[in-house]
Amino acid sequence: MHHKQKVLLRNLREGELPHNLTWRDLVDLIDELGTVEPHGGDEAAFVVGSQRLLLRRPRTHSFEADEVARVRKFLREAEAEVPVATPPPPPGRIVVVIDHHAARLYQDVGESRPEGEAAVRPWDPHGFLRHLIHRREAHYAGQRVPEEPSFYEQIAKDLVPAQEIILIGHGTGKSSALDYLVNYLKSHHPEVATRVVGTEVADLSGLNEPEIEAIASHHW
């Protein structure tokens, strides 16, 4: 529901009755709250919850005052409330799969997971349907890609809300983006670094999502 509709609903229920309520505005509002059912000719049934109101399209641009009053009574009886936006829960766990060219972040919001279940449950309960991807902009043929702090900083910022973090990469030492990320977090984001509960070296070329989930499950 957009801001204009929230204001209209608030006025219809509690504030000063609007003098320019149009058929289109009312139809759009009720579509957000319930349903609008054609009733033949210029009439429609407006349904919200258990309440039903039959109205005829006004002959002029807007409804008469008595019709607006009927709409107010209808909405009050339906107890239609202005929806309050609820922010999504923060990710409880994040798995990062990283090499020098890209990082994939798989997020688990911690919803609908039975107590004691260790498997990763991201946005899609049947797999990693949606995840964040950060890619390096530069490409260097025939040599190791120089490290870009901005690449790791972007990843670090996305890890801030996570309660538990697992990092998966390949290689060791200077050839490992995983090691570089671990050291970057310790130096620049120590609070985030303390929430890294496991790291894993793996062959990323053939690593699929069930295998990522299995690695995460092992650490969790």
Residue 207's pLDDT is: 85
pLDDT of 58 > 60? The answer is yes
Domain-wise residue ranges, the chain: 3-78, 93-219
DSSP 143: S
Which of 80-84, 189-193, 206-210 is predicted least confidently?
80-84
pLDDT: which is higher, 157 or 2:
157
pLDDT of 194 > 90? The answer is yes
Closest CA to 106 of 122, 119, 125: 122
Q: What is the percentage of the chain residues whose pLDDT exceeds 90?
A: 31
Mean pLDDT, all residues of the chain? 78
Contact status, residue 121 vs residue 108, Cβ threshold 8 Å: yes
Residue 191's pLDDT is: 95
Give tens-digit pLDDT for 108-162: 744 433 333 333 333 333 333 334 555 544 444 444 455 678 889 989 998 998 9
Q: Is the pTM of this model over 0.75?
A: no
DSSP 12: H
Identify residue 106 by its one-letter amino acid code.
Y
CATH 3.30.9.10 fits 93-219, yes or no: no
Dihedrals phi, psi of 55, to nearest 5 degrees: -130, 150
Give strand pairing partners of 36: 46
Distance CA 54, CA 46 (A): 6
Distance CA 15, CA 10 (A): 6
Residue 165's pLDDT is: 93
Contact status, residue 65 vs residue 82, Cβ threshold 8 Å: no
Residue 215's pLDDT is: 87
pLDDT band at 185 (very low <50, low <70, confident <90, very high): very high
Q: In the numeric block, which tokens belong to residue 73? A: 């009574």
Which of 11-15, 23-27, 28-32, 161-165 is predicted least confidently?
11-15
pLDDT: which is higher, 174 or 181:
181
Contact status, residue 196 vs residue 165, Cβ threshold 8 Å: yes
Distance CA 48, CA 79 (A): 9
Distance CA 147, CA 191 (A): 22
Residue 80's pLDDT is: 52
Residue 70's pLDDT is: 92
187 Cβ contact list (under 8 Å, min separation 6): none
Contact status, residue 120 vs residue 220, Cβ threshold 8 Å: yes
pLDDT: which is higher, 190 or 218:
190
